[in-house]
Chain A
Amino acid sequence: MSARIELQGVGKRYGAVTAVRDVHLTIAAGEFLTLLGPSGCGKTTLLRMIAGFETPTAGRILLGGDDITGVPPHRRPVNQVFQGYALFPHLSVRGNVAFGLRMRGVAPAELGRRVDEALALVALEALGERFPHELSGGQRQRVAVARAVVCQPKVLLLDEPFSALDAKLRQSMRADLQALQRRLGMTFVLVTHDQDEALALSDRIAVVNAGALEQVGPPREIYHRPATAFVADFVGHANLLPAERTGEKVGRVAVRLAGGLELEVPAERWPSGRRDTRAVVRPEQVVLRPWRGEERAAGRARVTAVEFRGDREHLQVALHDGSGLRLTAVHPGGEGDTADFTVGAEVTIEISADNLWFLPGTEARGPR
């Protein structure tokens, strides 16, 4: 029932403005893929081209092997959950869910059965006669999902489906959506700017920036092995430290980081053939210790800001080596040992070598 989507060199231009350029992406049948990027990056335009609301100015879109590039939206076996849901205000919940089937001329008996099934799927059997304005935000989202999946689309598109919900509800709706996708085995394409959402839900994430794909891969790969500085910084927080190769041993590479830290890292993590690049140091990889008067200069820093977040605290530290580099570190928030890390405290930093990642590409990407 679900199908594979192939974007082959898809591009979209509005006059002189290029919204999407040369996107090649294959989304497998039954996959949960997230298009992640900042607002205005072109992810929504990509989704709208798959839905049929926009026509690409370059390239082709294939669905299950058929070219659907020029097919109007009402004839595509693709349905969408809209941002803000776009429920029809004059129709009841049942009326909304039945709409797609009515447009396709499904016989009344089958229509009733399928609407019941779809409502059961999102646990809204009891609210069929309500109207959209009588529902809570979470219930509206479930109606929007039911209205789309009842048509048994080959691909379900979701445009920021959680943006209208408060933080607490968002968590539980996320879990529901993921369970639903597993159960239906349907291809899901989600658009979001929320990296937490993308990391939590997706089989694969496609990071979009300035109309092009930066990196496509499973969440863990995106987070732990970012391909570009943009990905490293957009997905989670990253300290990008200039790094230089100083030597080589069996299976390991000796590296000097800005701030004077010397490390030996696994050779497979260093981009082969490069003398220098940047290290992606996640805040949780920065280990802070109070400075006890050691002579060693490397890794000495001073705390410049502390931000308490409840379960943890984020600290800004400035390195003492004169480079003026600042790092963000995460420290588990506790009541006892906080005194060591107040603003102005002298600390030494250590970075665990084994999990450090180095950007493989050329330094900054050239202007587009």
Chain B
Amino acid sequence: MAAPRFPLLSPAAGPRLLAAGLRGWTALVLVFLYLPVLVLVVYSFNAARLGVGWEGFSGRWYAELLQQGPLQRAALNSLVVAGATTLLSVVLGTLGAWLLHRYRFPGRDLLESLVNLPMVMPEILLGISLLVLFALAGVGLGFTTVIIGHVTFSFPFVLVAVRARLQGLDPALEEAARDLGATPWGAFRHVILPALRPAILAGGLMAFLLSWDELIVTYFTASAASATLPLKVFGLAKVGLNPVLNALSALFLLVTLAGVAFSTYLRRAAR
């Protein structure tokens, strides 16, 4: 056999080229996904007030953030709303999952599909219908209405997570607890609930993050006093881009990343 004319194309060259191509493509996708965020964070440290030119490193926009009373107020509102939403979603979602899992009653299947619906419902629809409902009921917009709005689409996420965990749970566990002297509530409290903890925490975190960056539903259900951070940022951005917003968004991102990191940690711990 003659010497190969194209020594570059050895039998292993095909797979190697493919691997290199895939690696390049992956890098491209990641850049596409994260470059805007990176630019935002970098520019939050830019000393320039206007334009995109780099005029040196500065922390002044973060310092200025401390002077902005309304923004701080909105951040606090966001925390209150997200906190309350998380708490309510966890309670509703866990109890709902337990009910659907443990009891058979007429209309159970229908209820189950209805409960999942808000997860996929367009937020604009949810926002408008909630606004109409509150108007009809004569409820003034405020924290309560925002929280109700957020819980509506957040608690199904907790329910689904807890439900999945329940389905993987040995049904004999509850009976074992009853057998050892626990009342039905005692069995739930001391055996089922601890077994559900990872799912509840993961679902709760999801609810927190969903509420934390929700804009549309908040837009329809909030009053001026209960405006959350995304709503405030949205309002300010319409007026004109402002380096303070970059700093704010960077901080906002930090909270979200902390949440994601925590949820990753939880998933590791559950295994």
Contact = CB atoms under 8 A, between A and B. Distances in A.
Interface of A: 51-53, 72-75, 78-80, 82-84, 86-91, 99-100, 103-104, 147-148, 151
Nearest to A104: B181
Contacts of A83: 172
Contacts of A78: 179
Contact of B173 (A52, A53, A80, A86): A86
Contacts of B178: 52-53, 72-74
Contacts of B183: 74
B172 A79 contact: no
Contacts of B179: 51-52, 73-74, 78-80, 82, 148
A99 B170 contact: no
B270 to A, nearest CB: 11
A74 B173 CA distance: 14
Interface in B69-101: none
Interface in B41-86: none
B190 A73 contact: no
Contacts of B182: 74, 99, 103
B182 to A, nearest CB: 5
B169 to A, nearest CB: 9
A75 B186 CA distance: 13
A148 B176 CA distance: 9
Nearest to B194: A90
Contact of A86 (B172, B181, B197): B172
Most buried by A among B172, B173, B181: B181
A79 B175 CA distance: 11
B186 A88 contact: no
A368 B177 CA distance: 37
A51 B180 CA distance: 11
Most buried by A among B172, B173, B179: B179
B176 A86 contact: yes
A52 B194 CA distance: 25
B191 A88 contact: yes
B195 interface: yes
Given A52-B179, A84-B172, 9 more contacts: A74-B180, A74-B186, A86-B172, A86-B176, A88-B194, A90-B197, A99-B177, A99-B180, A100-B180
A151 B180 contact: yes
- Tell me the interface secondary structure of chain B in the complex: helix
A99 B190 contact: yes
Nearest to B182: A103
B170 A84 contact: yes
Interface string B161-193: 000000000101101111111110010001100
Contacts of A100: 180-181
A50 to B, nearest CB: 11
A48 to B, nearest CB: 9
Most buried by B among A52, A75, A100: A100
Contacts of B172: 82-84, 86
Given A86-B170, A89-B195, A90-B194, A103 B181 contact: yes
Contact of B176 (A72, A82, A90): A82
Given A99-B190, A103-B186, A79 B170 contact: no
A91 B192 CA distance: 12
State the 10 A-B residue pairs at the shortest beta-carbon distance, nearest first. Answer: A100-B180, A103-B181, A86-B172, A86-B176, A90-B194, A73-B178, A82-B172, A103-B182, A74-B181, A80-B179
Contacts of A80: 175-176, 179
A210 to B, nearest CB: 25
Interface string B225-247: 00000000000000000000000
Contacts of A86: 170, 172-173, 175-176
8 contacts: A52-B178, A73-B178, A74-B180, A74-B186, A88-B195, A99-B177, A148-B179, A148-B180
A86 B177 CA distance: 9
B195 A79 contact: no
A79 B179 CA distance: 6
Nearest to A77: B181
Most buried by B among A82, A86, A90, A148: A86
Contacts of B177: 88, 99, 103
A51 B195 CA distance: 24
B200 to A, nearest CB: 13
Contacts of A151: 180-181
Contacts of B195: 88-90
B180 A79 contact: yes
Contacts of B197: 90
Contacts of A148: 179-180
Contacts of B186: 74, 103
A53 B180 contact: no
B245 to A, nearest CB: 45
A75 B183 CA distance: 9
Contacts of B170: 84, 86
Contacts of B175: 51, 53, 73, 80, 82, 86
A99 B178 CA distance: 11
Most buried by A among B176, B177, B180, B181: B180
Nearest to B173: A86
Contacts of B180: 74, 79, 99-100, 103, 147-148, 151
Nearest to A90: B194
A104 B186 CA distance: 11
Contacts of B191: 88
A103 B183 CA distance: 9
A103 B176 CA distance: 12
A129 to B, nearest CB: 17
